[in-house]
Amino acid sequence: MTEPFTASDIAAAEKLMGVTYTPAERDQMLSNLEGQLLSAQARRGVVLDNATPMACRFDPRLPSFTMPHGLDDLRLSQRPLDLPDNDEDIAFAPLTALSHWVASRQITSRRLTEIYLARIEKLNPKLECYATVTADVALSEADAMDNLTRAGVSLGPLHGIPYGLKDLFDTKGITTGWGAEPFQNRVPGSDAAVTRKMRAAGAVLLGKTTLGALAYNDLWYGGWTRNPWNLNEGSSGSSAGSASATAAGLCGFSIGTETLGSITSPSQRCGTTGLRPTFGRVSRTGAMALCWSLDKVGPICRSVEDTGLVLAALNGHDAKDRGSIAAPFVFDARRSIDGMVLGYLPEAFEEGATDVDRAALVAARGLGITVKEVTLEDLPYGALMNVLYAEAAAAFEELTLTDADDTLKWQEEGAWPNTMRKARFLSAVDHVNLDRLRYRVMQAVGEMMEGVDALIGPFMTGPMLVASNFTGHPCLHLRAGFEQIATRSAASLGAGKLTTGEAEGERTFRVPQGISLWGQLFDEGPLLNLGMALEQALDVASERPGFPQ
C-alpha cells in the first residue's frame, strides 16, 4: 500500500458493505486498518492450489441424525430384454439391459464400445459434448473386460459398460481442462477417486464430457454444448456434456457434479435422469473444487434404476476428502412403495410451475401412496448464494488477482469472472452469519421432511433447489413430459441466457420437462423406488431426441 487510508475511503467502502459508521468511528479505524490489509496481503502470498481444502468441513447431519442403514445392499429388477438387432436401440438401452447382455455374452464390451464411439464420431461435432474422446483407452479397457468375462470374472453391474466422465475429474495422462481457457492444456499425473472407482467397477472410459468453464453454464473453451432436442440451444450446465451425451445415446451413462443445479439443470434441459446424492456420500478427491461445502458427485442416466446402479459403484468413504462421510447405500429396485408418504409445497406448483409439473403431481397421487402438503419455514434461502460465491472466488482467487480471468470466453454480468470479482467485497462477518443461517435452514428442512419419505416439486419454482443443496439432501430429477417452446439460449457468448415463453412468430421445439424428488439424508433408496414408480406412470422416459441419428 503506497498511500494511507482516509476517512473518505472508509465511507466509500461502507456503501459496498451495506453499513454506516459515524465520522468518529471512521477516524478511530484509520490507525489499524493498514495492519488488517497487510495480514490479508501476507496470506495472498501463500499459493493455495485448487486441491487445498478448507479446514472447516460441512456436515449435513443434525445432532439427532441416525444413519438409516448399516450395510450396503443393491438389488436390481429382473427384467432382461432381448438384444436388439439395431445399433441405435442398443445404444439407448438401459444399463440393466446392457449389463445383462455383456454378462450373458450376447454382446462384447468391445462391440458396445465401438457402437458408442461410432455415434460419438458422427454426432459429437453437432453436440460438442465431449472435450476429449479416448478411443484407444476405451477399446483397450473393453478388451480387458471381455477377457475377464470369458474367464468367468465379473467386476459388477457396470462391467464392460462404456461411460462419459465430466472433464473436471482427473484422468492420468489425459487432458482435464475444467472447461476453462487457463486450464485447457492441463494434464494430471494421477486419477481422481471417481476415475479409479469406475475402473474398479469395470466401466469403460469413452472420454471426458464437457462442462461450462469452471463448472458454470454450457460454454467451454472448445465450443458450446447443445441440447439434443434442440440444437439451437445449450444443454445447460455445468454437467453439460454428460447430460447431452447421455440423452443422445453417446454413452451408457455419465458422471456429473452439482454445486447448485449442475446435475439437475442439464437433466431438466436434456431430459436425462440425474441423481444428486447426499453431500459427503461420493468422494471428490482429484476433482476440481468449486465450493468445498457444496460440491457433490452423481450419475446421469436414461432411467431411474440406472442411477442407483451407478451410485452403488461410486459410494464409499474417502479419508482424503475432508467432506467424505461413511454411509452404506441400500437400494432394492423391487421394493414396493406401498405405505410411503410423499410431501409437496403447494406454493411450488403455483406461479412459475408448468402444466407438466402439475401433471406429475397428479400422477404421483395416482400411485396409491399418501401425498400431503407440507410447509417450510420462511427464511431468506436465496441469501445463502453468497456462500457459493465466496467459496468459488476463493477456489480461483489466482485468476482474479492475476487477471487470468480475462481469458475466459464468457464475460457477461452473471459469468464467473464478474461474480468472483464482486465476491471480494463480501463481508467476512456476514459470511460467518450466513453459515449460522445455513444451520437454521438445515433445521427447517429437517422439520419439513419429518413424516415423509420424499418431497416432489418443480425444478426451479419454490426454495428447494437452493435449500436442498445447502442442506445436502439428495435429489432425483427425472423426465415428466414435454413442452413446445422457443429456443432458450442463443449460440453466442451469452449462451445460457434464458428467454421466457414463445416469441411471436419464433419457431418452437418439443423439448423435455422434468420433475424433482428430494429424499432423506443418506437414504436414496426410497427416493429411487418412488422415482421408478413415477417414471412408469408418466411413461415418457424412453422417447429419444429427434435430430438425425
**Residues 294-314 pLDDT 10s:** 999 999 999 999 999 999 999
Residues 6+ apart with CB under 8 A from 532: 304, 305, 333
Of 109, 238, 265, 303, catalytic: 238
Catalytic residue among 166, 197, 208, 296: 166
CA distances from 10 to 34, 40, 132 (A): 12, 17, 50
Distances in Å between the alpha carbon of 499 and those of 144, 460, 486, 495, 548?
A: 48, 15, 8, 11, 26
Contact, 124 vs 169, CB < 8 A? no
Annotated active-site residue 409? The verdict is no
Residue 34 has pLDDT above 80, yes or no: yes
Note the pLDDT tens digit of each residue in 73-93: 999 998 778 999 999 999 999
| C-alpha of 371 from chain center | 27
Phi, psi of 100 (to 5 degrees): -65, -45
Note whether 103 and 159 are within 8 A (CB). yes
| Tens-place pLDDT, residues 443-474 | 999 999 999 999 999 989 999 999 999 999 99
Terminal-residue alpha carbon distance, the chain: 61
Q: What pLDDT does residue 548 have?
A: 65
Residue 145, pLDDT above cutoff 70 = yes
What is the full DSSP assignment across 396-423?
THHHHHHTGGGGSS--STTSHHHHHHHH
CA distance to 214, 251, 463, per residue, from 184 (Å): 11, 23, 35
DSSP-derived 3-state class of residue 185: coil
Tell me the CA distances in angstroms from 407 to 51, 131, 221, 237, 359, one per residue in order.
Answer: 22, 18, 10, 20, 45
517-530 burial, b if ≥16 CB within 10 A, otherwise e?
Answer: bbbbbbbbbbbbbb
Average the pLDDT over 100-116 and give the result. Answer: 98
Mean of pLDDT values over 260-279: 98
Dihedral (Cα; 17, 20, 22, 26), 10-degree rounding: 0
Please give the model's pTM, rounded to 2 decimal places: 0.96
Neighbours of 255 (CB within 10 A): 29
Alpha helices in 208-249 (DSSP H): 240-247
Is 140 marked active-site?
Answer: no
Q: Please check whether residue 393 is in contact with residue 400, taking contact to mean a CB–CB distance below 8 angstroms.
A: yes
CA-angle at 34, arms to 30 and 36, nearest 5°: 110
Q: Specify the pLDDT at position 81.
A: 85
Query: Phi and psi for 68 in degrees, rounded to 5?
Result: -70, -20
What pLDDT sits at residue 549?
A: 60
How confident is the model over 431-450, as a mean pLDDT? Answer: 98
Q: Active site includes 208?
A: no
Q: Measured between alpha carbons, how far is 208 from 132 in angstroms, rounded to an integer?
A: 5
CA dihedral 137, 140, 144, 145 (to 10 degrees): 60
Domain edges within the chain: 88-382+429-538
CA–CA separation, 272 and 540 (whole Å): 11
CA dist 234 → 50, 211, 491 (Å): 28, 11, 8
Which residue(s) pair with 276 in the sheet? Answer: 475
* Predicted local distance difference test score (pLDDT) of residue 485: 95
| Strands (DSSP E) found in 187-304 | 204-209, 219-220, 223-224, 226-227, 230-234, 253-258, 273-276, 296-301
Q: Residue 327 to residues 70, 330, 436, 500: CA-CA distances in angstroms?
A: 8, 10, 25, 41
What is the distance between the alpha carbons of residues 205 and 163, in angstroms, rounded to a whole number? 5
* H or E element, residue 264: helix 264-270
Closest by CA to 308, choosing from 49, 505, 145, 94, is 94
Return the CATH fold of 88-382+429-538. Answer: Amidase signature (AS) enzymes (3.90.1300)
| pLDDT tens for each residue of 173-214 | 999 999 999 999 999 999 999 999 999 999 999 999 999 999
| Residue 2 clears pLDDT 90, i.e. is over it | no
Q: State the Cα–Cα distance between residues 121 and 125, nearest whole angstrom.
A: 7
At 49 the pLDDT is 96
| pLDDT score of 79 | 75
Residue 504 is predicted with a pLDDT of: 39
The chain-wide mean pLDDT, for the chain, equals 95
Give the separation between CA 272 and CA 266, rounded to whole angstroms.
Answer: 8
pLDDT tens, 398-416? Answer: 999 999 999 998 888 889 9
Predicted pLDDT of residue 524: 98
Preceding amide of 254 cis, omega within 30: no
User: What nine digits make up the cell of 258?
Assistant: 452439482
Q: Phi, psi (5° rounding) for residue 495? A: -50, 135
**Catalytic one among 99, 242, 262, 283?**
262
